[in-house]
Homo-oligomer: A and B are copies of this chain.
Amino acid sequence: MVTIKDIANRLGISVSTVSKGLNGASDISEDLRQMVLDTAVEMGYQSKKMKKDENKKLCLFIENMEYETANQFGYEIILGFRQAAFRNGWSVSVVPVTPAFQMTEKYDTYMLKNGYSGGFLVGFALHDDWMRQLAFTSIPTVLFDNYIKKNPHVCYVGTDNFEGIESAIDHLYQLGHKKIAFLNGSLYSMVSEKRYQAYLDAMKSHNLPVEEDMVAHGYYVADSAKYHVPNFLAAGATAILCGNDLIASGVITECRLRGFSVPDDISVVGFDDLPISSFLEPPLTTVRQERTELGKCGYAALSNLINHVSVSMTLLRPQLITRASTAPCAEREEEAEEEE
């Protein structure tokens, strides 16, 4: 079990300073206090006060997403949510759910019987049972990357997918790419739908043609690549935009297996900026989602709903991180040489 001493050792400060930070004493700086609180959450510290205070409980449900280790997508979302909640005196339960669980347990009933004041749902699919129930829930609920119409108790938090995809296409366009394939994630996911629409919009705004054999839906895993990359290569793609970084890692592998060099023959762009992105060979150009901030915004939105402020949607800006997996389009360079 994590003690105050452990936190003090990690931060290299005294036990009494940690104690002051945890108890909100006014004779340490606000920055130091925040650092103590954030570190306490990161290390899994639980105060006696929190264990006693049964009334301030939030629940984070997670499905279809890995989150146990720091290199997985859900990890920092959960961390950011728990850090922000902790600062405001809430304890957070993290509950993994399955479709079967959702069929046997009604969302509202589960929340009420466990005394949760609000829920943060991460990784749910459009056809999940709870998604249908959320149209009518009166429990303050925030969804990461899902949107429920009209219900004033439900808010959507996510990254602006349109700006993310647009910035990726624009980057490839500036490098001379015109045949840009798109290997998307799962169907039945709101972000897949938005990213697909964003791809169509961005191609159109750059006057690039969208060809049917240049677009495919797979799953948000590396393995998706082997079923679709051969078609993209056959169709003459010079760049492949991917629904997330895991797909992109598979695409790079698949291109190499088939004798295509990344980025010399094919440019590859991911989405998310997972920690692995910078360790891939070549390091991956990708659209960054600020996951810790997404978690914190999730808490802020939930806090609003609990206080009867009906926030409907909060979006964060994505950021294009340019690394070595993208390069000027080979065809274009040849053309340039011919012109000389």
In the complex, per-residue mask of A264-294: 1 if CB is within 8 Å of any chain B CB, else 0: 0000000000000000000000000010010
Is there a chain B Cβ closer than 8 Å to A311's Cβ? yes
Q: Roughly how many angstroms separate A297 CA and B155 CA in the complex, as a whole number?
A: 14
User: Please, how many residues of chain A have a CB less than 8 angstroms from a CB on the other chain?
Assistant: 22
Whether B317 pairs with A160 at a CB distance below 8 angstroms is no
Chain B min CB distance to A156 (Å)? 9
Residues of B within 8 A of A317 (CB): 150, 152, 310-312
Interface residues of A in 132-164 (CB under 8 A from B): 149-150, 152, 160, 163
Whether a CB of chain B sits under 8 angstroms from the CB of A175 is no
Work out how many copies of this chain go into the complex: 2
Contacts of A319 in B (CB 8 A): 152, 310
A1 to chain B minimum Cβ distance, whole angstroms, is: 29
Q: Is A233 an interface residue (CB 8 A)?
A: no
Q: Which residues of B are found within 8 Å of A313, using beta-carbon distances?
A: 160, 313-315
Q: A294-334 CB contact bits vs B (8 Å, 1 = yes)?
A: 00110010001000011111111101000000000000000
Closest beta carbon of chain B to A205's beta carbon, Å? 11
Please state if A296 and B311 are interface contacts (CB–CB under 8 Å).
no
Indicate whether A19 reaches chain B with its CB closer than 8 angstroms.
no
10 new A-B pairs (CB below 8 Å) besides A149-B163, A313-B315?
A150-B163, A160-B312, A293-B309, A300-B300, A309-B316, A310-B316, A310-B317, A312-B315, A312-B317, A313-B314
Pairs A-B, 8 closest by C-beta atoms = A310-B317, A313-B315, A312-B315, A312-B317, A152-B317, A314-B314, A293-B309, A160-B312
